[in-house]
Amino acid sequence: MKDKVCFKSDTSAQIIILTGFVIAIIILGMGTVLYSAANSGQQTSILQSDRAYNNFENIREEYGIALMVSSEKGEIDPFNVSNTTTILEFEDRMKTIVESHGFILNFTDHEHIEVKDRAVVNILFADGKKVFNDSVTYNLLTGEIIYDTIPPGYIYDLNAAPTGCTGDGFVELKWTAVGNDYYEDTSAYKYEIRYSNESINTSAEFDNATFYRYYYDVKKNGTEQIYFVEELVPVRWHFAIKVYDKAGNFNFSNNASAKASEWSPEVYNISGNNTPINSNVPELQVNAGTDVIIEFNVTDRDGDNVNISFMIKNESTWDKAWNWTAVSPAEYNNVTFNYTFNDIQENWDFYINVTDDSTCKRSKTSPEGAPDSNYTINLTDYTPPKTIAINSTDYINDTYIDENLSVSNFGLDTSIYIQSKPNPLDKHGLIKFNLSLIPPGATIVSANISLYVEQTENSSVYFHKINSPWDEYGVNWTSFGDSYNLTPSTNGIPTLGYTNWTVTNDVIDFYANSNHGWLIKFEVDNMTIFSSKEANVVQRPILYVEYYS
């Protein structure tokens, strides 16, 4: 990490440009934006007082704000493509800023910006008495000064390997971690994993490859890293990694390829008398004497033949009620399978097993975990599920934690800030709903969390289950640590007003076991603001739960 820039002599700008890496640099003004004196007089190239330093520091910060605003947060180029001048709006902003500090501004020519997210600026300030030189790298999205311009090291040993009979569409990736700055004894910030059906050997090929995910479990330089890519079509894939530090500097890996493992067959679209049956609604309620027709579909992504067994139990012993053998893809891709309970007079349990004829003999049951888990047909009159909306302040805990203000608590704030920015400016939301309003012994059918969006930048937020208790009026970034599941439960793009996310499986788990709520975060640089329970009642968080008593 580079030290903070100081203002010494007319050579400091060149030194910083030489040490900055080339791909992220935009040089303004053929290397210079010239601020000339309003009055003539003796000038010196040495910073001569703390007061002058403080004024100059303020100008540096405001310069960054002008860069951010004029570039529309990196969306437009503040500088003319003819390489001769800035756009008028930007020049007017800069003149206003500099004149407010007692300086007079004249622009010389400029070079065109080629990279949108940062700019290296060489500036010469003169107030008629002193001359100050500076070179500063700015983040055009935030207007902040970037002190680190050294990228992580290149990953030379990325290896992709098949996983045999393990997992569905799995590939194991293995590589050696690099440092924050090349190969120093530190950790980078995150990995971006992409894959393609063609080799990935250039940055353009990486950008055109399919995004898989960001991976934040980054080890120290020299440490082995292992990651399993899942649920790919079972063909040969090419992989590459882009490694970032928190300043946004990055480097790449070599290309690696392997064939993804084959898939287990699947059972889907299960219904009883046209009523859906699944792991969230495992019971079908019918009247005695009814004929119950169970229907379902089967598929296998690998195109293997399959064997299907329909298993039933009404007391203590499982029996194979029906068996379909050596079913080909031409059959199971075009047929809905069914089994009928005629004139049902007692309760029945059932599950479905399907096994392919591959070397691995991959098998799957529905529901998962059968026969310990199973579907049930109950002889009772049908009762529709009840719905409850949990939004009372007595049943909600919410706050956010701020990496930059790591020991501060925000439990009384009316907003929940979610942000992922470098330098460091990460903010994560925390929220938990008390489920005691759901009666004991209930069967939860569905659950949706609804949050009021005050402001957003149109990127997915991710909900992660929290693993341990936290106090909304005491928790902070430091005390919370990494106490959450790295794999998100759900994600989605927030839109202004209320936005819903389905969290059924998490709420079922919270109801049956420990409930510590969710951590909400971004996996890309972005920002969203939700209303907290301290906000107006029409903007409070809500958890909708549908259940059977």
Closest CA to 488 of 520, 516, 514: 520
How distant, in Å, are the alpha carbons of 305, 394, 434, 447, 495 from that of 389? 47, 13, 11, 10, 21
**Cα torsion through 524, 529, 531, 534, rounded to 10:** 110
Q: Which residues contact 117 (CB under 8 A, 6 or more apart)?
A: 24, 74, 139, 140, 141, 248
Residue 127 has pLDDT above 70, yes or no: no
pLDDT of 67 > 70? The answer is: no
Query: What is the per-residue pLDDT for 136?
Result: 64
Per-residue pLDDT at 9 = 31
The sign of the CA dihedral 89, 94, 99, 100 is positive
Q: Rg of the chain's alpha carbons, rounded to an integer?
A: 30
Average pLDDT over residues 506-521: 95
Domain 266-382 identical in fold to domain 387-548: no
Per-residue pLDDT, averaged over 45-52, amounts to: 40
Q: Is the pLDDT of residue 1 over 70?
A: no
Nearest to 161 by CA among 148, 173, 144: 173
pLDDT, mean of residues 82-93:
56
Q: Which amino acid is at 311?
A: M
Note whether 356 and 302 are within 8 A (CB): yes
The Cα–Cα gap between 102 and 417 comes to 37
Read off the pLDDT of each residue in 277-299 and give the average, rounded to a whole number: 91
- Give the H/E segment covering residue 511: helix 504-512
The pLDDT of residue 66 is 67
Residue 445: per-residue pLDDT:
87
| pLDDT above 80 (res 545) | yes
Kindly give, in sequence order, each residue whose CB lies less than 8 Å from that of residue 377, ignoring residues fewer than 6 positions away: 272, 283, 284, 285, 286, 292, 341, 344, 347, 348, 349, 350
Angle (CA) 391-394-399 rounded to 5° is: 80
| Statement: residue 205 has pLDDT above 80 | yes
For residues 135 and 6, what is the distance between their CA atoms, to the nearest angstrom?
Answer: 9
- Comparing CA positions, the residue from 484, 521, 516, 525 lying closest to residue 139 is 525
Compute the average pLDDT of residues 356-374: 93
Distance CA 254, CA 252 (A): 7
Report the C-alpha gap between 221 and 243 in whole angstroms: 12
Give the architecture-level CATH label for domain 159-259: Sandwich (2.60)
Is the separation of the CB atoms in 285 and 189 below 8 Å?
Answer: no
Q: Alpha-carbon distance 304 to 356, whole Å?
A: 6
Q: Domain-by-domain residue ranges, the chain?
A: 12-139, 159-259, 266-382, 387-548
Q: Which residue has the higher pLDDT, 310 or 142?
A: 310
Whether the predicted pLDDT of 447 surpasses 60: yes
For residue 11, the model assigns a pLDDT of 33
Question: pLDDT tens across 455-500, in order?
Answer: 998 889 999 999 999 999 999 999 998 899 999 999 999 999 999 9
Residue identified by tokens 């379902």 is: 296
Q: Positive or negative CA dihedral for 417, 421, 425, 427?
A: positive
Residue 508 has pLDDT above 90, yes or no: yes
| Local structure of residue 392 (DSSP, 8 states) | -
Q: Rounded to a whole number, what is the largest CA-CA distance in the chain?
A: 106
Quickly tell me which residue has 């979610």 as its tokens: 418
Beta-carbon contacts of residue 400 (< 8 Å; ≥ 6 apart)? 410, 413, 416, 417, 418, 427, 428, 429, 430
Residues in Cβ contact with 490 at an 8 Å cutoff, skipping those fewer than 6 apart: 462, 463, 501, 502, 503, 506
pLDDT tens-digit series, residues 304-342 = 999 999 999 987 789 999 999 999 999 999 999 999 999
* pLDDT, average across residues 334-363: 92
CATH of span 387-548: 2.60.120
Look at residues 207, 202, 182, 204 and name the one whose alpha carbon lies nearest to residue 192: 207
Mean pLDDT of 272-282: 91
pLDDT in the model for residue 548: 81
Give the type of residue at 469.
P
Q: Distances in Å between the alpha carbon of 414 and those of 125, 226, 399, 470, 533?
A: 43, 41, 9, 19, 7
Q: What is the mean pLDDT of the chain?
A: 81
pTM: 0.47
CATH architecture of 266-382: Sandwich (2.60)
The packing angle between helices 88-99 and 50-70, to 10°, is: 160
Instruction: Please give the pLDDT value at position 71.
Output: 63
